[in-house]
A and B are shown apart, each in its own frame.
Chain A
């Protein structure tokens, strides 16, 4: 059975060009970039090039890029460093809809005596900048706000938020794991001090990430060890991963336009057709301020896991914010923070596309999804009695 992969916010396929670029560093060029000999030195040259490629995608300088193992490590490194650098400050500002890499870390820090402000979002998943402004205090050590939400794709105004933080003398970190490669980013024009990204979300393999660290930002390493990454991250470099991430960033820069034209059009087609073909559906999140590849659709009165498993029978891969899929018993914290009603939250499905999706694939999904929802609604005790009411309001 063919796999129709609509789960690119979870992870992405490794681009063939990326695989090709990294393979020699798994096979022949296995030298340690720190070695004195030319065999290792040639790898160091390639690591330097990769650093330039990553910097170029972000509008950064190569020495502002620190390679890490993943987005979570970058997030941890950034936030913990900010706290270590300002030990007298005990306040963190973040949002309610962050990825667990930030959310769970902040919850842990709260247990250790830090004061954490989790900014709310509105029903469209948007942040209130006035409220944000008011949350900053002289005690605030760091702000950490995601650039784009992994579940809804909603984009936060991090450029403005970073500027506000700078005016107050507060460090600003953004988890841009979902944003990098999908929307234009030029850090040279922003006040963002730190940014996290992850390779496997942009067609590099798992196990490689990066942290952008603005020149002059004081930093305490998260992994203490050797002199690698200029003492900012100990541990022998993941050279194949670094080469892969460099290549993936180069490709992402080339494909950014496709992402915002063709991919966006496919996403819009999928979304609009589902909304018109299936009654009692809605899109979660601000549709006008959103990643071009993501749509989060709720199907009322059915449960997300059941939808996913029925789509799975056709090879369609997506994900859900329902309780049952996560192993927790409550729907996603993102949808709950947005106040999405329970009748909708349990039936939310996220489709996230990439440049590898085709119109045929979208049409296949459009052919299969409506009958799946109809089948499950046929099983649902809530469907019949509520349908009429909803048709009136919908």
Chain B
């Protein structure tokens, strides 16, 4: 059974804004019955050009219904410009998170919103369509690239969770690997909001973060860590004090140290313990 948050359950069992907006300013339909989920989304603007009404109809699982319901709530009161900045992660966050395997439900919400805005602006025709990579689910290279960029995806499996691409017969896994490799070669930062980090800057930021954010907390419990080396995205640390030999230290490193460093320095860092 999926572990859905209470908010997902609430939006599934009590979906908001079901239906279709009459005299809508923007309408879109994404997904298909063959793929197992589909979403019809429509919105209407008030005289101040703010979204006053948004409605949805969804064929799909609990998280697909919840994501669509969430979306209709999120966009209310927004200008089209503001709404166009909503990402799939924003939808997932609004729901308190989605299981990784269900992230494609949030992507479907974002796609519907985007298409509805295009419908409103009358720009739908201008966008390059891209080439279909996954035949099973009709996912294009452009859609995959976008999901990779926006969500810092690193593996075929993650791409499948977010876009469904590769989730059918699996024959496109090679092509998806190539997209990942190309994006990697082009040096496109996988978390676009952050500037690229030089190694020296990265190491200095890691050091500072450990000093400022991490060691004080550990010291409260009589523990400590020391930065040993940084190799690529691998942060090698040694545990000291009460942390050394503590059975929970691996958990601490993963859940506290690594997540702090990812949050404050670079989202791809991996913390590894080395013997001192």
Task: State the A residues within 8 Å of B (CB).
Answer: 301-306, 309-310, 313, 322-325, 327-331, 342-343, 346, 378-382
Contact = CB atoms under 8 A, between A and B. Distances in A.
B15 to A, nearest CB: 6
Interface string B210-228: 0000000000000000000
B61 A379 contact: no
Nearest to A384: B57
B36 A346 contact: yes
Q: Ordered nearest first, which 3 A-B pairs have the shortest CB separation?
A: A329-B167, A324-B61, A305-B61
Interface string B174-216: 0000000000000000000000000000000000000000000
A329 B137 contact: yes
A304 to B, nearest CB: 8
Interface in B46-85: 57-62, 64-65
A386 to B, nearest CB: 9
B152 interface: no
24 contacts: A301-B33, A304-B61, A306-B65, A309-B9, A310-B13, A313-B13, A322-B36, A324-B36, A324-B61, A324-B64, A325-B61, A328-B167, A329-B160, A330-B36, A330-B136, A330-B168, A343-B33, A346-B59, A379-B59, A380-B59, A381-B38, A381-B40, A381-B58, A382-B38
B15 A303 contact: no
A378 B36 CA distance: 17
Contacts of B39: 381
A329 B102 CA distance: 10
A346 B31 CA distance: 14
Contacts of A301: 33, 59
A314 to B, nearest CB: 12
Contacts of B62: 305-306, 309
B86 interface: no
Given A303-B37, A306-B65, A378-B18, A329 B60 contact: no
B164 interface: yes
Contact of A322 (B12, B61, B102): B61
Given A329-B160, A380-B59, A381-B29, A306 B12 contact: yes
Given A306-B12, A329-B164, A342 B34 contact: yes
Nearest to B12: A309
- Chain B interface bracket (under 10, 10 to 19, 20 to 34, 35 or more): 20 to 34
A324 B60 contact: yes
A197 B101 CA distance: 32
Residue among A305, A328, A342 with max Cβ neighbours from chain B (10 Å): A305
Nearest to B59: A380
Contacts of B38: 381-382
B36 A331 contact: yes
A381 B37 CA distance: 10
Nearest to B38: A381
A141 B58 CA distance: 49
A275 to B, nearest CB: 21
Contacts of A382: 33, 38, 59
Given A303-B61, A306-B60, 12 more contacts: A305-B2, A305-B61, A306-B65, A310-B13, A323-B36, A327-B101, A329-B35, A329-B136, A379-B18, A381-B38, A381-B39, A381-B59
Contacts of A327: 101
Contacts of A324: 36-37, 60-61, 64, 102
Contacts of B18: 378-379
A300 B40 CA distance: 18
B57 A380 contact: yes
A379 B57 contact: yes
Contact of A330 (B15, B58, B167): B167
A309 B40 CA distance: 22
A331 B168 CA distance: 10
Contacts of B58: 379-381
B168 to A, nearest CB: 6
A322 B167 CA distance: 14
Interface in B132-170: 136-137, 160, 164, 167-168
A303 B101 contact: no
B5 to A, nearest CB: 13
A346 B102 CA distance: 16
Contacts of A325: 61
A302 B33 CA distance: 9
B44 to A, nearest CB: 18
A304 B137 CA distance: 19
A327 B100 CA distance: 10
Contacts of B64: 303, 324
Given A301-B59, A324-B60, A329-B168, A379 B33 contact: no
A378 B29 CA distance: 16
A327 B35 CA distance: 14
Contacts of B9: 309
Residue among B13, B59, B160 with max Cβ neighbours from chain A (10 Å): B59
Interface in B77-116: 101-102
Interface string B20-46: 000000000100011111111000000
Contacts of A346: 33, 36, 59
